[in-house]
A = this chain, B = another copy of it.
Amino acid sequence: MTITRAERRLRSERRILDAARALFADRGFERTTIRAVAAAAGVDPALVMQYFGSKQELFSRAVQAVPTKEGEPGEARDLAGRMLETLGMKLGGLSPASLAMLRSMLTHPEAADAARTALGGQIDRVGAELPGDDARLRAALATSVLLGVTVGHQLLGLDPLRDAPREEIDRLLRPALLALLGERE
């Protein structure tokens, strides 16, 4: 029942990271102040600096995705289904870390780099499974399509998307994705 010192530290660090993720996710990098993160974590602003060194470093740490365990429940077999899962169009939605990155990707250079890297990885992975010499372009378009729906749904909150059940979105999106990926499968 006694809480060791190292444990206290880890606990504080996690509370700060959680608060930072939440704030970064719904206000973006610039509008999120270290003081606000500290307040939300019930901690002094100086402690945040002491643990993470700078606001930028805090952001980087907050955005680092918790390693997704391979072979999750819904595990889809076809490429389109896997893509729909990856970008959170199914199941419970995106992680706070991903949302934080997406929220700032248009206005914060480091977030843009992270987004380019993440999306680039997805593009390469999908492109490798497609035939033809426009495979990469098709993959990039398919990834951008899901990015757009995610942005419209999770970040902008477009009414028709917010109101629609996720399976309905999935159902309408799948044929479009298949058309993009080359009509095969």
Bound Cα distance A140, B157 (Å): 11
Contact A169 B151 (CB under 8 A): no
Residues from chain B with a CB closer than 8 A to the CB of A177 are 176
Is A9 in contact with chain B by the CB < 8 A criterion?
A: no
Bound Cα distance A176, B147 (Å): 15
Number of A residues near B (Cβ < 8 Å) is 55
Is A46 in contact with chain B by the CB < 8 A criterion?
A: no
Q: Which residue of B lies closest to A87 (CB)?
A: B148
How often does this chain occur in the complex, in copies? 2
Contact A157 B107 (CB under 8 A): no
Contact B137 A143 (CB under 8 A): no
Residues from chain B with a CB closer than 8 A to the CB of A96 are none
Bound Cα distance A172, B143 (Å): 13
Is A134 in contact with chain B by the CB < 8 A criterion?
A: yes
Bound Cα distance A127, B109 (Å): 36
Is A168 in contact with chain B by the CB < 8 A criterion?
A: yes
Bound Cα distance A68, B155 (Å): 27
Contact B158 A152 (CB under 8 A): no
Residues from chain B with a CB closer than 8 A to the CB of A112 are 156
Residues from chain B with a CB closer than 8 A to the CB of A103 are 106-107
Interface readout for A161-183 with B: 1 if CB under 8 Å, 0 if not? 10010001100110111111001
Bound Cα distance A183, B178 (Å): 13
